[in-house]
Chains A and B, each alone.
Chain A
Amino acid sequence: MEGAAPVIDSRDPRVRFGLYLRPSYEMSRAVAAMHELMRRQFGQTRAGKYMPHATIGFFQSDASWQELAAAVTPVLAGRGPFVVQNHGPIPLGRSVVLDIHHDDAGEVNAALQALHDDAHAALSPLIADDLQDRFRWPAETFQAHITLAQTIRPAWLHDEILAFAREAEPIGPRRFLAEYIHLYAVMSDDWDADDWSDTLTWNLLASWRLG
């Protein structure tokens, strides 16, 4: 028997939505182990507040999650699983992430980029104009990644943590199959606060299996 549908108030300012690619078991396990070490060794907890994932989109919307899911479903219908290449840890802003944006030939992973672009197009009409500015996710700046350490603080730890992550290589398999897509509600008491992740919680709303 299915459980009751989650009740999420989209107008609650604490609520954001995340459309995420779930990595394979092996990749999930490796990323979760790194999150745990980042907490234990460096006190870095932000990335580990999330489940292991690659962001397809993160946004705010006044639409119900059922409307969002209904918009995503046709995007994923007929789309098969595809291979994701793991190119290891790189710096991304103030974070350290696994680069999964490129294929074996060093070109943008076309299947992943297309998934992002199509999902973006489907969901954009459900994101209010005044929210688009703040939570835009333009195709041209999309860079697929799996975060190991997010918004590292203090900032001077960044280089040491990047070296630590590179020492841990290989982190997970060199390639895995992208097979499952998830829609989450992600909540923080104050997204504008420095410590937004201290109150972070999440709720899996919908899951799709490609193919």
Chain B
Amino acid sequence: MERFAAFEGDPGVRFGFYLRPSYAMCRAQAEMHALLLRQFGQVTAGAFMPHATLKGFFRSDAAVCDMIAALDTALSGIRPFTVVNNGPIAYGRSSVVMNIQQDEFGETNPAIQALHEAAFAALAPFIHPECNFTPVEWAGSSFFAHLTLLQSLPRPEFFDEIFAFIRDAEPIGPRRFTAEYVHLYAFRSEDWQGDWGKTLRWEMLHAWKLGG
């Protein structure tokens, strides 16, 4: 399709497949991104739209229409479901995310795990063998659904203060929201092997409403 031509066969493009949070969750996350920029100069998480990754960055030479068709099939039986917001947690000393992997009882949310696995399986055949992101991605049993607030903090000595600042902001967004929309994106960066967040740009390629 002509509108996808700019993204196809270009080694400078990465794709991603994401869950969009609800309006209330989106607003809370976007406001935290804005505050982390204003107060601490942190830009990486805010370079993305608010999202929960279902299939992270991947390189592909495939036609975008083929990816969309595969996802059409994979998503066809998946209904909207409830996501539980378990609050901010640390990923090492460089990132802070909202933990949305578990349900009300502390167990893995089976619906989001299933959505991840279905999307990953649908997109796996299209991943370029030299993709530099997929081999190190937390996928399958290692998948951990999250909404990123702080990403790739370059100075770990500031981490404790920023994490405390984020915890001060609790509750960040609603305790639960409905997962209803998923999106396929294309990304460009001038440095995929290095500090890609500084020059990240994105464009939405396709949207699905679960159950719709």
A residues engaging B (CB < 8 A)? 33, 36-37, 40-43, 154, 156-157, 160, 164, 167-168
Taking the closest CB of chain A, its distance from the CB of B23, in whole angstroms, is 4
Interface string of B13-39 (1 = CB under 8 A from A): 000000010111011001001100000
Q: Name which residue of chain B comes closest to A161, CB basis.
A: B207
Complex: A42 Cα to B49 Cα, angstroms: 7
Q: How far is the CB of B26 from chain A (nearest CB, A)?
A: 5
A33 CA to B34 CA in the complex, in Å? 12
Residues of B close to A156: CB separation below 8 A: 207
Nearest chain A residue, comparing its CB with the CB of B30: A40
Across-interface contacts of A157 in B (CB, < 8 A) = 204, 207
Besides the known contacts A41-B30, A42-B204, A154-B3, 12 further A-B residue pairs in the complex with CB atoms under 8 A apart: A37-B26, A37-B30, A40-B26, A40-B30, A40-B33, A41-B49, A41-B50, A43-B204, A154-B204, A156-B207, A160-B207, A168-B27
Distance to closest chain B CB from A93 (angstroms):
20
| Residue among A36, A43, A154, A167 making CB contact with B23, cutoff 8 Å | A167
Contact with A along B200-212 (1 / 0, CB 8 A): 0011100101000
**List of A residues within 8 angstroms of B23 by Cβ:** 37, 164, 167-168
Q: Which of A43, A154, A160, A167 contacts B22 (CB 8 A)?
A: A167
The answer to whether B22 and A41 touch across the interface, beta carbons within 8 angstroms, is no
Interface of A is mostly: helix
Contact A43 B50 (CB under 8 A): no
B: number of interface residues (CB 8 Å): 19
On B, residues with C-beta under 8 Å from A are 3, 20, 22-24, 26-27, 30, 33-34, 46, 49-50, 181, 202-204, 207, 209
CB distance from B181 to the nearest CB of A (A): 6
Residues in A whose Cβ lies below 8 Å from that of B26: 37, 40-41, 164
Q: Which residues of B contact A37 (CB under 8 A)?
A: 23, 26-27, 30
Cβ-closest chain A residue relative to B21: A41
CA distance A43 to B48 in the complex (A): 10
Contact A43 B30 (CB under 8 A): no
Q: Which of A40, A42, A43: most chain B CB closer than 10 A? A: A40
Find the residue from B22, B33, B49 having the highest chain A CB count within 10 A. Answer: B49
Report the bound CA distance from A111 to B111 in whole Å: 52
Determine if A40 and B207 form an interchain contact, defined as CB atoms under 8 angstroms apart. Answer: no
Q: Give Cα A167 to B204, complex, Å.
A: 21
Residues of chain B lying within 8 A (CB to CB) of residue A167: 22-24
Pick the most buried of A37, A156, A164, A168: most chain B CB atoms within 10 A of its CB. Answer: A37
The distance in angstroms between the C-alpha atoms of A33 and B24, with both chains bound, is 12
CB closest residue in chain A, given B3: A154
* B49 neighbours in A (Cβ, 8 Å): 40-43
